Chains A and B, each alone.
Chain A
Amino acid sequence: MTDKAYNDCVDNFADGVYRFIVKNIRHTEDAQDIVQSAFEKLWLNREQVLPEKAKSYLFTVAYHQMIDHIRKSNKMPLSEDANFPHQQITQQHTELKQVLMHAVNELNPIQKSLVLLKDYEGYSYKEIGEIMNLSESQVKVYLHRARLILKNKLSAYAPTAS
């Protein structure tokens, strides 16, 4: 990868990586640090990274750094099947989008990353598996489980809203 290709990656992928991280950890400064670390690693390994694989490389590095950051901060459990404290959806979440984001934020980090990578970046199951070091079938199962959780939360909100 040339220097110019690296700078093109900054222009094209920095927003997506930042959005993916900040949606996960909900902390802008930490997210910026993670994005900076990811691009720094890309710069150091630019000779080995092909331009067409740069986006996947950035998301992979950012995801693993985010996992490390979560473990260090010990803010969230990482088990996919862990039960999160159910927050009562309040009346303030009138907007469906806000309700959805609130529901997404209640997902565990793996489920949330799966949803974010799928919906924001449009990666396939296989590509998500490569980024998150999961098999394609694991991605499918975990993501479907996350969708059903979101659906249930949204359907639980809908009668209240109505």
Chain B
Amino acid sequence: MQLNESTYETIFLLYIDNELSPKERMEVEAFIADNPSYALEMEALKATVLSAENMPYSFKENLKQQEWDTTYSTIIKEDLQAIPGLSTPFKNTLKKTTASEGIVVKSFGFKQNKFSYAAIAACLMLFWGYQQLTKTPASITIATNPNTLIVPTISTPSGETIISNSKTKQIASNIEPIAKTKQDATIKLQVSNSSNRSSAFKLQKETIAIAEPTRNNSILDNQVIISKLPSTYNNPISINATPLPATSTNIDTETTQAEKVSTSYEVIDTEDSNRTILIANFEIDGAAFRGITRRVSAFLKRNKSEKEK
């Protein structure tokens, strides 16, 4: 701020209008103290400022408004308190029965049909998980390749695979069928007795030979060798066979001592309800699977009929 002869008037006017900062005001006062000739000029300007003057407005009460907070609210509050409350029995008649609070399933933005599919998929996964958890390990579970049939075998020192004895035909007739197949299997049988004659016969039966254990076939005294199974033989049935401790009974006298191998088999009934179905790598209980398919089809039919309605 430069105070001089040309600027003093403007700065003095700002001074009397209180538009200067305290520091600038001090500078002005110092300038006047140093230059007393400007003091009269400052006094003349100060004289133009109007002094405070009281001029009361006498109609204030007419301008005021009734305050809602202090008047109407109090009146309404008093009126509300004056009204008696409703009786409890009457209030109870006004109440509505509300649904009990249960599990609230939200659709998470899914449409109803999409949510139904998701529910079905979740049920299937739960069922599969239950099956995995409750599955008991079989003594011997043989998952067969469609083109192979795995049969418990015992190898003799001569390298032949023994599955039957000389009374194969008789024993086979005593074995009850466990599964049916419409395919024929040609089995080359080599009897391990002293005659060493090979015979091949064609199995025309619809039954593959493992059945309920009977007295006649529970212990096989001789074995039949299956050297090769035809590739056309297709039996995707898993056979649970548990070899029992070998007991040597009824050994044919014509067999050599080295070929005396007796094996016992416990043949498990696979017609029971616990039979499992193998789909790829998953083992599914057959009866449960049928039940699920029935339920799913019924659910879909019901859903469809509801939509049509």
A30 within 8 A of B: no
Whether A147 and B16, one on each chain, are in contact in the complex, defined by CB atoms closer than 8 angstroms, is: yes
Chain A positions 115-138 with a Cβ under 8 Å from a chain B Cβ: 115-116, 118-120, 122, 124-125
Chain B positions 58-116 with a Cβ under 8 Å from a chain A Cβ: 59-60, 62-70
Q: Pick the most buried of B13, B17, B62, B69: most chain A CB atoms within 10 A of its CB.
A: B17
Choose, from B44-52, B173-181, B207-215, the stretch at the interface. B44-52
Count of A interface residues, CB-CB < 8 Å:
41
A94 within 8 A of B: no
Whether B19 and A125, one on each chain, are in contact in the complex, defined by CB atoms closer than 8 angstroms, is: yes
Closest chain-A Cβ to B174's Cβ sits at a distance in Å of: 105
Whether A151 and B52, one on each chain, are in contact in the complex, defined by CB atoms closer than 8 angstroms, is: no
Q: Which of A10, A122, A148 contacts B64 (CB 8 A)?
A: A10
The residues of A that contact B18 with a CB separation of less than 8 Å are: 122
Q: How far is the CA of A44 from the CA of B62 in the complex (A)?
A: 15
Chain B 5-20, CB within 8 Å of chain A: the 1/0 string? 0000110010011110
Whether B51 and A144, one on each chain, are in contact in the complex, defined by CB atoms closer than 8 angstroms, is: no
Q: How far is the CA of A120 from the CA of B51 in the complex (A)?
A: 7
Count of B interface residues, CB-CB < 8 Å:
31
B54 within 8 A of A: yes
B57 within 8 A of A: yes
Q: Do A120 and B52 contact each other (CB < 8 Å), given the known contacts A10-B63, A10-B64, A15-B57?
A: yes
Q: Do A15 and B67 contact each other (CB < 8 Å), given the known contacts A36-B62, A151-B47?
A: no
Whether B47 and A154, one on each chain, are in contact in the complex, defined by CB atoms closer than 8 angstroms, is: yes
The residues of B that contact A3 with a CB separation of less than 8 Å are: 65-69
B254 within 8 A of A: no
Q: Which residue of A lies closest to B71 (CB)?
A: A3
B55 within 8 A of A: yes
Whether A155 and B44, one on each chain, are in contact in the complex, defined by CB atoms closer than 8 angstroms, is: yes
The residues of A that contact B70 with a CB separation of less than 8 Å are: 4
Q: Which residue of B lies closest to A114 (CB)?
A: B17
Closest chain-A Cβ to B7's Cβ sits at a distance in Å of: 13
The residues of B that contact A35 with a CB separation of less than 8 Å are: 57, 59, 63
The residues of A that contact B36 with a CB separation of less than 8 Å are: none
Q: Which residue of B lies closest to A125 (CB)?
A: B19
Closest chain-A Cβ to B8's Cβ sits at a distance in Å of: 13
Q: Do A154 and B48 contact each other (CB < 8 Å), given the known contacts A14-B57, A14-B60, A35-B57?
A: yes
Q: Do A19 and B67 contact each other (CB < 8 Å), given the known contacts A100-B47, A147-B13?
A: no
A52 within 8 A of B: no
Q: Which of A11, A101, A118 contacts B60 (CB 8 A)?
A: A11
Q: How far is the CA of A63 from the CA of B35 in the complex (A)?
A: 41
The residues of B that contact A32 with a CB separation of less than 8 Å are: 57, 59
B157 within 8 A of A: no
Q: Which residue of B lies closest to A39 (CB)?
A: B63
Closest chain-A Cβ to B124's Cβ sits at a distance in Å of: 63
Closest chain-A Cβ to B20's Cβ sits at a distance in Å of: 12
B53 within 8 A of A: yes
Whether B63 and A14, one on each chain, are in contact in the complex, defined by CB atoms closer than 8 angstroms, is: yes
Whether A151 and B44, one on each chain, are in contact in the complex, defined by CB atoms closer than 8 angstroms, is: yes
Whether B53 and A19, one on each chain, are in contact in the complex, defined by CB atoms closer than 8 angstroms, is: yes
Whether A22 and B55, one on each chain, are in contact in the complex, defined by CB atoms closer than 8 angstroms, is: yes
Closest chain-A Cβ to B73's Cβ sits at a distance in Å of: 10
**Can you spell out 5 A-B residue pairs with CB atoms less than 8 angstroms apart?**
A18-B55, A36-B62, A125-B19, A151-B48, A155-B44
On A, residues with C-beta under 8 Å from B are 2-4, 6-7, 10-11, 14-15, 17-19, 22-23, 32, 35-36, 39, 43, 96-97, 100-101, 104, 115-116, 118-120, 122, 124-125, 140, 143-144, 147-148, 150-151, 154-155
On B, residues with C-beta under 8 Å from A are 9-10, 13, 16-19, 44-45, 47-57, 59-60, 62-70
